[in-house]
Every structure is written in C-alpha cells, then in structure tokens.
Structure 1
Amino acid sequence: MKEYIMVFKNTHDAIGTEKFIKNKGLNIMVMPTPTYITQSCGICIRFNDEVLSNIEGDLDKEINFKNIYLINQAGLTIYK
C-alpha cells in the first residue's frame, strides 16, 4: 500500500482538511511536516492510497493543499 504526505500553506488549511477527511470516515495521521520540506505549514497529513482514491475528486475543490508527496525508499517524490 502506498503512503502519501499532504502539506499545506497554513495551519488553517491543514486543520480544515483533517476535519473534511475524517468526516468521510477515513483514517489519516496528522504529524509534523518533515524539516526538509521548506516553506510549508508546520503540520501535514499522512495517508494511504485508499484515502487518496476517496478524496481525489475533492482535491482542488474542497481541499486547499500545497503539495502531495509519495513516500518511497528514496524519500519523497512529488505526486501532485
């Protein structure tokens, strides 16, 4: 199962997204944004590909995010 990190421009967007996704009954983890991702909000959301498939239609409409990164063996790769 693939894992992703969604980063935000500000804490307001991060908390709003957390509520939005949890209201859909999906499991996510809120965590500190990795320090090597600069110029982002201090918190991010980690989730798997099941969550991504359930929110993809909401991206750019209901969810205000900066980037989504795919977590892989080499580190992080920008997904969107």
Structure 2
Amino acid sequence: MKDYYIITFKNTHGAINGEKLLKEKDIKVAVMPTPAVITRSCGISIKIDDEDIEMVKKLIEQEQLVVKNIYKRSDNGYIQV
C-alpha cells in the first residue's frame, strides 16, 4: 500500500476552503469521508500524497491553511503527525 496523508478539519467550511487552497497550489487532493477511527468531528477530510506533505506543512506554518490534524496512513494504520 502506498502511504498517504489525511487532513482533518474542524468543520465542513474549513475542509472546502482547504480543498480550494490546495488545488490553487497545484497539490493533488481527494475529498473523502473522515475515517471514524481517527475523529468524529467534521465528516469530510482531504487525502494528499506523501510527496505533498512538506508544502502542506508550510501552508499551515504560514497560517494559510487551518487544519484540525494530519494523519499518515500506512500499513500500520493511522498515525497523527
């Protein structure tokens, strides 16, 4: 299985804004239901590829992207980063 990241948000509005921003930055995103095993807040999450995580972290540090958490998905399950 290829590793990927799931970005969770506090609400649907945050997820929609996050999707728009990431697409503007040419980051490939996939909107998906938030897996219940990681959180029960917002039901929408964004999946990104492993190679895009550093750009996402920069956007968070620059306060352009507001997220609840980021999880790495691997063969071992979900790990909060």
TM-score, length of structure 2 as denominator length = 0.87
Alignment of 1:28-39 (within 5 A): 28-39=29-40
TM-score, length of structure 1 as denominator length = 0.88
Aligned alpha-carbon RMSD (Å) = 1.4
Which segments of structure 1 move beyond 4 Å, counting only runs of 4 or more? none
Is residue 53 of structure 2 the alignment partner of residue 56 of structure 1? no
Matched AA of 2:38: I
Change (3 A) 1:18 1:74: same
The CA distance in 2 between the partners of 1:36 and 1:53, in whole Å, is: 25
Is residue 63 of structure 2 the alignment partner of residue 74 of structure 1? no
Q: Residue 25 of structure 1 corresponds to which residue in structure 2?
A: 26
In the alignment, structure 2 segments of 5+ residues that lack a partner are none
Name the % identity: 41
In the alignment, structure 1 segments of 5+ residues that lack a partner are none
Q: Cα offset for 1:15?
A: 0.4
The CA distance in 2 between the partners of 1:68 and 1:18, in whole Å, is: 14
Q: Render the CA deviation track for 1:2-42: whole Å, top value 9, x for unaligned.
A: 31001111001100000000001111110000122233200
Count of aligned residue pairs for this structure pair: 79
The CA distance in 1 between the partners of 2:34 and 2:44, in whole Å, is: 5
